[in-house]
């Protein structure tokens, strides 16, 4: 499998992401944001975490205009798989490749810690190696992770199974760290080929790091 990790000015998780996918046996290329096309033969494009353009204006608001994003859009429109992690998720929202928007965390502070998340839907490529209802232990690190979408779109997303991950505690009970609507931690598009989540699975790929739950999440793309 060939994975492309896009690097923007301010990206800081590209090497963690490459390491995680290489552990799974994938071939990984880091692609500078000024490129205009996704390389031929790519199976997955990842927009990794960080602070693209210093998070000026809004997180992801400037990165959405980077030349590579038109290539990412075309790749997704042809059915290619795209994964946005944290800042990458914010970029996908700003680019309208995923529905909704991000607001500042409800407590107005940057949050950096491990948190539990629950799998709500696994009938998709990304979470196919997890179980519905499974509790995962994954790091979060963000200041703007407060996901919002209007009521009509939220209803449609529920009907289509687009809400994939929800923040919870170790027992699976409601536990919302950032004020996100319905404690939403991850979503996908209607076609289920574009995915976004605020937690960092690439930072949970070895027991030594505190959890390897993230590795099973990413492994779904390799089947």
Query: 33, 115, 142, 200: which one is catalytic?
Result: 200
Query: Is 168 considered catalytic here?
Result: no
Query: Is 22 considered catalytic here?
Result: no
Contact 187, 99 (CB under 8 A): yes
Query: 13, 86, 168, 205: which one is catalytic?
Result: 86
Query: 94, 116, 202, 205: which one is catalytic?
Result: 202
Contact 12, 49 (CB under 8 A): yes
Residue 109 burial (C-beta neighbours within 10 Å; 0-12, 13-18, 19+): exposed
Query: Is 158 considered catalytic here?
Result: no
> Which residues are known to be catalytic?
86, 200, 202
């Amino acid at each position: 499998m060939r994975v492309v990790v896009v690097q923007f000015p301010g990206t800081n998780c590209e090497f963690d992401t490459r390491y995680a996918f290489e552990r799974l046996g994938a071939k990984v290329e880091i692609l500078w944001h000024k490129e205009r096309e996704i390389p031929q033969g790519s199976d997955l494009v990842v927009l990794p975490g960080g602070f693209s353009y210093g998070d000026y204006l809004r997180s992801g608001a400037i990165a959405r205009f980077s030349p590579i994003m038109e290539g990412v859009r075309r790749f997704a429109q042809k059915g290619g798989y795209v994964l946005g992690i944290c800042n990458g998720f914010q970029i996908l929202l700003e680019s309208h490749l995923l529905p909704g928007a991000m607001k500042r965390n409800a407590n107005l502070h940057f949050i950096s810690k491990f948190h539990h998340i629950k799998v709500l839907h696994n009938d998709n490529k990304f979470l196919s190696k997890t179980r519905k209802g499974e509790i995962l232990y994954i790091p979060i690190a963000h200041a703007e992770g407060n996901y919002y979408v209007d009521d009509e779109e939220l209803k449609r997303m529920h009907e289509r199974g687009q809400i994939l991950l929800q923040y919870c505690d170790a027992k699976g009970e409601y536990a919302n760290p950032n004020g996100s609507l319905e404690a939403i931690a991850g979503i996908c598009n209607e076609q289920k080929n574009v995915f976004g989540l605020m937690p960092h699975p690439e930072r949970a790929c070895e027991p030594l790091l505190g959890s390897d739950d993230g590795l099973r999440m990413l492994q779904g793309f390799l089947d």
